[in-house]
Amino acid sequence: MRLPLATLALFLTTVLAQADMAPRDGWSVTPTSKSYDQLIADVKTAAKANKMGVVTQAGPTGAAKARGIAIPGNRVIGLFNNVYAVNVLNLSTAAMIEAPVRVYVTENTDGTATLSYKLPSTVFAPYVPEAGADLATLAAELDTIFAAIAETAVK
């Protein structure tokens, strides 16, 4: 009896893992008609145009492929710059754990890609009671920058 349940659980996990990103509170989720690779390239270009650096990149797609497992494209790209990093640190050492702010490029079941990210104001909200209104203002500024990056990248 355990084997069929385990098999069913694995099947459901695989099916759910391949679902397209859905809207969620505190996030920006924008499906596009672009391919996964094109959206990644466009996010990087848009970040640079908005004076944000690509600080990190990670995703399981390439490693899974090397293991013989095909999964949809999946890339997390961390964006930030030193000016904001220093400003966050001056307001809250603890809040710096949230930098870089990440954007998420996922390949949809139809071959297109979606750009998603947690709004910086959502990311930094837990630290505002400790850090004060200046952190909320900084996060709102980052909301505007990330919205501009997303708008440019998804065009």
Q: What percent of the chain has pLDDT over 70?
A: 88
Does pLDDT of 44 surpass 70? Answer: yes
Strands 53-58 and 27-35: unpaired
CATH class of 22-154: alpha beta
Q: How far is residue 13's CA from residue 63's CA, in Å, rounded to a whole number?
A: 19
* Model pLDDT for residues 18-27, shown as the tens digit of each residue: 579 999 999 9
| Domain residue spans of the chain | 22-154
Does pLDDT of 6 surpass 50? Answer: no
Comparing 17 with 45, which gets the higher pLDDT? 45
Sorting pLDDT into bands at 50, 70 and 90, what band is 38? very high
**pLDDT recorded at residue 15:** 42
* Model pLDDT for residues 75-125, shown as the tens digit of each residue: 999 999 999 999 999 999 999 999 999 999 999 999 999 999 999 999 999
Does pLDDT of 4 surpass 60? Answer: no
**pLDDT recorded at residue 109:** 94
